């Protein structure tokens, strides 16, 4: 049960992390085209969410005993502008038990 909680935490932060990345990109464009500068605030918000995502990713990787390839995919999704939404969808399927590749290894 502990491993599902780790996946749940990662799933909960993946959507907001993806949204904050998109908002940060929008703020960057607005900073260069208008007098609005939301980059310092959105940069901090996105930075905190990204760090949480990485911490929760490591916890889920260890708890679920994912293959390194899967953990790398989850990390790559976190650095793509809309990747957080795809990660959230994959993690939701794993929580529901629809992904076979995410089964933990038995010792």
* Residuewise pLDDT in 10s, the chain (107 residues): 578 889 999 999 999 999 999 999 999 999 999 999 999 999 999 999 999 999 999 999 999 999 999 999 999 999 998 999 999 999 999 888 887 544 544 43
* CA dihedral over 53, 3, 69, 86, signed as positive or negative: negative
The DSSP letter of residue 79 is T
pLDDT at 96: 86
Q: What is the pTM of this model?
A: 0.85
């Amino acid at each position: 049960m502990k491993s599902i909680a780790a996946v749940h935490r990662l799933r909960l932060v993946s959507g907001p992390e993806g949204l904050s990345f998109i908002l940060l990109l929008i703020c960057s464009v607005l900073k260069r085209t208008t007098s609005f500068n939301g980059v310092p605030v959105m940069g901090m918000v996105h930075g905190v969410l990204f760090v949480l995502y990485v911490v929760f990713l490591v916890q889920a990787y260890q708890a679920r005993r994912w293959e390194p390839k899967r953990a790398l995919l989850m990390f790559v999704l976190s650095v793509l502008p809309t990747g957080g939404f795809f990660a959230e969808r994959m993690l939701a399927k794993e929580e529901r038990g629809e992904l076979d590749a995410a089964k933990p290894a038995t010792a």
